[in-house]
A and B are shown apart, each in its own frame.
Chain A
Amino acid sequence: MESLTAIIVGVLVAASVYLMLAPSFLRFLFGLILLSNAANLVIFASGRMTEGAPALVPEGASAPTGVVGNALPQALVLTAIVIGFGLLAFTLALAFEAYRRLRTLETEEMREAEPVEGGEETRA
């Protein structure tokens, strides 16, 4: 399954790169969601994948019986998902505010901080 996951990750990454390079910042956000998913899958797959055996210690035992899913990457992915969500939420708010004030989400037109040369004179 790791190989298939690797292929899925590749597809996700390729799609997110393409989306992030799009003119609209909204597509960047879509790409960001996909890329976060891809990164989480990288961690998950890197810890190797075990089918159908959650990392639980059964009642009455002091350790899991048999091979169970690798718990550490799961914990890492959990952290990463939550952090990724926080970042995404902020970025969405930023896009929202930017659109409200700049009236565009086309990154080509976002030239406030680095104005087109000569543009400053026309503004003044």
Chain B
Amino acid sequence: MAEDTDPNAPWITFAGIAPAAITAALFVWFLGHAPTIAAGGSIRWAWDWIPSLQVTLSFWLDGLSLMFALLITGIGALVMLYAARYLAGHKQFARFALYLFLFMLSMLGLVLADNLIALFVFWELTTFTSYLLIGFSHADPKSRRNALQALLLTAAGGLALLAGFILLGLTQGTFEISVLNAGGSLAGSAWYLPILILVLLGAFTKSAQVPFHFWLPNAMAAPTPVSAYLHSATMVKAGIYLLARMHPSLSGSEVWLWTLTLFGGVTTVFASIMALRQIDLKQTLAYTTLMALGTLTMLLGGSSGYAITGAMAFLFVHSLYKAALFLTIGLVDHATGTRDADVLGGLARVMPITALAAALAALSMAGIPPFLGFIAKEVAYSGATGSPLWPLVILLALAANALMVAVAAIVAWRPFFGPQGRLPRVPHEGPWAMLLGPVILAVLGLAFGLLPGLAALIIEPAVNAVMGTPDTGGRLKLWAGFNLPLLLSVVTLALGAVLYLRHQTLRERIARLEARGPDFDAGWDRLLEHFMAVAKGQTRIIQTGRLRDYMFVTFGVLLAAIVSGLLARNVGGLELALAGLSVREWGVAGLIVAGTVATLLTSSRVTAIVALGVVGIGVALIFIIYSAPDVAITQLLVELLIVVLFAVAALKLPMLDREGVQRHRPLDAVLAVGVGAATTVVLMLVTQAPFDRRLTEFFEASSYPDAHGRNIVNVILVDFRTLDTFGEIAVVVVAALGAYALLKGGRSLVRRSGDAAEEENK
């Protein structure tokens, strides 16, 4: 990256500032609508995009989409500002800024879209922009690989999602989400299960649920602002958003409950363990994001007010603190040149503001009162206790939250307040443009915790939207009394502290465990290898490069096509009408067959050409006998020309058989006889059917009176079917031009460069 960066370039550029400014303006605009939404209102805007297909570009601003829109634009503006400084002077920063901005718009479109297909369009756009962003360091093969992995995996899920949406739209008669949701749960529909599976495939790949999770940690190949924005705060939550958005339609079944709880639970626990295992702080954060996504999925499995409130509150607070933490890690990386957890330490003295932001964010993450993280965790625990699967959910949530406490300490305590590490660079505090984001986000986590009513203004309308019915609200409280969630919180903290103190030993153990478990990432590579092997294998079999194979298959298919038709359909009996033919006919037939056989058998070019001439004459004789003198004359003329051409050209061509004798090819013979016989059968059947002569009768009747010609064949050629004749002349002329160009062009090419020189060029 270094050689692409000009350190003296100013960071305040159009590409640096404009996206952030526009995004900030959008944030303010959305914030302006917050009171309306909080009061239970909603805003809808629709444009008939493709009326023929019921695709509208309809946007629906309700509680859920507003919360997401605020996160997207708010965090977006801060991240864009941060990125402008972080990547200042990078030669490709303008592209980066463009992609990031396009991503922001796509994400906004995704959460605002009310039409399934429009939503899908934005969904794929986020996939696409994220592909470009993950591959930002495109000279690095790993970066390219990881970008592709993320793209393929999420696009695969996207295709399932598309199928699900189409099925949903076709069976329900509408593609408008608000209309679908108003109709309540589809759990009773016959199509419910396939729809659910397809939609969940889309949501789970996008939101990186196990076993589709592995692309997310790999996506950290992107620059840190991207990780903070896409792969933590916004895009990966698109799947969660979808689950929340479709909750009224798709929840309300055992399948929903169990699937979301299990997938979410497994993801949560797996990710928390893996988070402990990481040394690179960015990877640690990536896994905690995964963990959060699992928890959110698990919570959305429920339908109680507590579960949904827990999900929405957690989603909200996670976006704040996780983006802040990523950005502080970026600051640390920027300042010290490393993200190694074992190396970093004692940075708080030189980077006090960064340390403050990290500490605040981490406290919120650990769920310490009075941070919003604490409130969210409490509500989530309440939701868990109310779940039909409460023992499972509580256990999973407890484990995950405890691990999160430990991880919070790892990312925010040790680097800043732990013992001084041996750093590659002398650290310094970050510039204000990069500090602004993490500080604001971290402080918000505290502010919303102290004033939960303020957070409720954003979170509760979202809850209402997910529930589909107005919720009681009032669950977001700093102090909810002595209850089970509080007890669980205490246990969580204690457990987390223990985990933190022992995390280095644990890390080694997990590493050993991991080595024995399935390696999804390597599995992905194997999958691609297998796929490539299949692709190459099939192509080698089909596209052999040998003309003979191609023609054999082509003739084989022709034979199969005719025979399949003959066998599958009743074509009637065949009548061999050979009686009454004179010696003349048999003679001509004998002549043609003899010429053909001679062509077949000979190894001499001269004999073959003569034999072909004989066949041509035989065919001409048929034309003569059967009233086609003009055709016969042309046939003879062409035959003569062919012989002359061959005499000129073919004799300069090589012998027919290099060994002097022709090899016998029994398989070819079988195919040849098959095709020949099939043609005979079809032609006989056709000629034995009744014939409609009306065209010819018309020509016979009008040839002289209307077209003034007595030779009907000629009249057809020059009058009735002029266009054919015109085309025919064109073919002959172009054939001559083409042949001339071919022969002359080749010669001039050889003259110019010489065969040997061309050989070298190749």
Knowing A15-B596, A83-B731 are in contact, say whether A56-B712 is a contact too (CB < 8 A): yes
The segment out of B246-254, B351-359, B615-623 that lies at the interface is B615-623
The segment out of B274-282, B404-412, B738-746 that lies at the interface is B738-746
Q: Are the CB atoms of B683 and A75 closer together than 8 Å?
A: no
Q: Are the CB atoms of B646 and A24 closer together than 8 Å?
A: no
The segment out of B32-40, B207-215, B298-306, B624-632 that lies at the interface is B624-632
Q: Are the CB atoms of A45 and B605 closer together than 8 Å?
A: no
Interchain CA distance A50-B318 in the complex, whole Å: 90
Knowing A30-B599, A42-B683, A96-B652 are in contact, say whether A82-B548 is a contact too (CB < 8 A): no
Q: Are the CB atoms of B743 and A96 closer together than 8 Å?
A: yes
Q: Are the CB atoms of B631 and A81 closer together than 8 Å?
A: yes
**Binary per-residue interface labels of chain B (599-614) against chain A in the complex, 1 for a CB within 8 Å, 0 otherwise:** 1100001001000100
Answer yes or no: B673 CB below 8 A from chain A CBs: yes
Which of chain B's residues has its CB closest to A29's CB?
Answer: B650
Q: What's the least CB distance linking B724 to chain A, in Å?
A: 5
Q: Are the CB atoms of A53 and B680 closer together than 8 Å?
A: no
Answer yes or no: B566 CB below 8 A from chain A CBs: no
Answer yes or no: B126 CB below 8 A from chain A CBs: no
Knowing A33-B642, A34-B599, A64-B700 are in contact, say whether A71-B712 is a contact too (CB < 8 A): yes
Answer yes or no: B541 CB below 8 A from chain A CBs: no
Interchain CA distance A76-B545 in the complex, whole Å: 36
Q: Which of B545, B577, B625 has the most CB of A within 10 A?
A: B545
Q: Are the CB atoms of A82 and B634 closer together than 8 Å?
A: yes
Q: Are the CB atoms of A54 and B628 closer together than 8 Å?
A: yes
The segment out of B74-82, B100-108, B133-141, B702-710 that lies at the interface is B702-710
Answer yes or no: B561 CB below 8 A from chain A CBs: no
Answer yes or no: B54 CB below 8 A from chain A CBs: no
Report the contact-size class of chain B (Cβ under 8 Å from the partner). 35 or more
Interchain CA distance A23-B600 in the complex, whole Å: 13
Which of B585, B649, B734 is close to A96, meaning CB atoms less than 8 Å apart?
A: B649
Knowing A1-B585, A71-B713 are in contact, say whether A44-B696 is a contact too (CB < 8 A): no
In the complex, which residues 537-560 of chain B have their Cβ closer than 8 Å to any Cβ of chain A? 540, 543, 545-548, 551-552, 555
Residues of A within 8 A of B2 (CB): none
Answer yes or no: A121 CB below 8 A from chain B CBs: no
- What's the dominant secondary structure at chain B's contact region? helix
Q: What's the least CB distance linking A66 to chain B, in Å?
A: 11
Q: Are the CB atoms of B665 and A82 closer together than 8 Å?
A: no
Residues of A within 8 A of B593 (CB): 8, 11
In the complex, which residues 23-48 of chain A have their Cβ closer than 8 Å to any Cβ of chain B? 23-27, 29-30, 33-34, 37-38, 40-42, 44-48
Knowing A38-B679, A75-B721 are in contact, say whether A70-B701 is a contact too (CB < 8 A): no
Q: Are the CB atoms of B735 and A21 closer together than 8 Å?
A: no
Knowing A44-B626, A75-B713, A87-B735 are in contact, say whether A37-B619 is a contact too (CB < 8 A): yes
Residues of B within 8 A of A117 (CB): 540
Which of A16, A46, A57, A68 is close to B687, meaning CB atoms less than 8 Å apart?
A: A46
Q: Are the CB atoms of B548 and A11 closer together than 8 Å?
A: no
Residues of B within 8 A of A47 (CB): 691, 696
Q: Are the CB atoms of B650 and A26 closer together than 8 Å?
A: yes
Interchain CA distance A78-B308 in the complex, whole Å: 81
Q: Are the CB atoms of A86 and B735 closer together than 8 Å?
A: yes
**Binary per-residue interface labels of chain B (230-271) against chain A in the complex, 1 for a CB within 8 Å, 0 otherwise:** 000000000000000000000000000000000000000000
Knowing A10-B679, A78-B713 are in contact, say whether A92-B687 is a contact too (CB < 8 A): no
Interchain CA distance A67-B353 in the complex, whole Å: 107
Q: Are the CB atoms of B596 and A27 closer together than 8 Å?
A: no
Which of chain A's residues has its CB closest to B724's CB?
Answer: A79
Q: Are the CB atoms of A78 and B634 closer together than 8 Å?
A: yes
Q: Are the CB atoms of A15 and B672 closer together than 8 Å?
A: yes
Which of A41, A75, A77, A92 is close to B649, meaning CB atoms less than 8 Å apart?
A: A92
Residues of B within 8 A of A44 (CB): 622-623, 626, 628, 631
Q: Are the CB atoms of A94 and B641 closer together than 8 Å?
A: no
Knowing A34-B596, A89-B735 are in contact, say whether A7-B589 is a contact too (CB < 8 A): yes
Interchain CA distance A8-B762 in the complex, whole Å: 47
Report the contact-size class of chain A (Cβ under 8 Å from the partner). 35 or more
In the complex, which residues 669-713 of chain B have their Cβ closer than 8 Å to any Cβ of chain A? 669, 671-673, 675-677, 679-681, 683-684, 686-688, 691, 693, 695-696, 699-701, 703-705, 709-713
Answer yes or no: B350 CB below 8 A from chain A CBs: no
Which of B653, B662, B680, B735 is close to A7, meaning CB atoms less than 8 Å apart?
A: B680
Answer yes or no: B592 CB below 8 A from chain A CBs: yes
Q: Are the CB atoms of A26 and B653 closer together than 8 Å?
A: yes
Residues of B within 8 A of A82 (CB): 634, 638, 728, 731-732
Q: Are the CB atoms of B622 and A5 closer together than 8 Å?
A: yes
Residues of B within 8 A of A97 (CB): 742-743, 746
Interchain CA distance A84-B631 in the complex, whole Å: 14
Interchain CA distance A110-B596 in the complex, whole Å: 27
Which of chain B's residues has its CB closest to A17's CB?
Answer: B672
Q: Are the CB atoms of A6 and B680 closer together than 8 Å?
A: yes
Answer yes or no: B668 CB below 8 A from chain A CBs: yes
Q: What's the least CB distance linking A42 to chain B, in Å?
A: 6
Q: Are the CB atoms of A2 and B687 closer together than 8 Å?
A: yes
Q: What's the least CB distance linking B290 to chain A, in Å?
A: 42
Which of B540, B704, B716, B743 is close to A62, meaning CB atoms less than 8 Å apart?
A: B704
Q: Which of A17, A18, A79, A93 has the most CB of B within 10 A?
A: A17
Q: What's the least CB distance linking B744 to chain A, in Å?
A: 10
Q: Are the CB atoms of B743 and A93 closer together than 8 Å?
A: yes
Q: Which 3 pairs of residues, A with B, have the shortest CB-CB distance?
A: A14-B676, A69-B627, A10-B680
* 27 A-B contact pairs sorted by A residue (CB < 8 Å): A1-B581, A4-B585, A6-B681, A6-B684, A8-B589, A9-B676, A12-B615, A14-B676, A18-B600, A21-B548, A33-B642, A44-B626, A44-B631, A45-B687, A47-B691, A57-B710, A57-B711, A71-B696, A75-B720, A79-B717, A81-B631, A81-B638, A84-B638, A86-B734, A88-B642, A92-B646, A113-B545
Q: Which A residues lie at the B interface, using CB under 8 A?
A: 1-27, 29-30, 33-34, 37-38, 40-42, 44-59, 61-64, 68-72, 74-79, 81-90, 92-97, 99-101, 104-108, 110-111, 113-117, 123
Q: A1-B626, A72-B699 are in contact. List 11 more A-B contacts (CB 8 A).
A: A6-B680, A11-B596, A20-B551, A33-B616, A57-B710, A62-B704, A78-B630, A79-B721, A79-B724, A92-B650, A107-B546
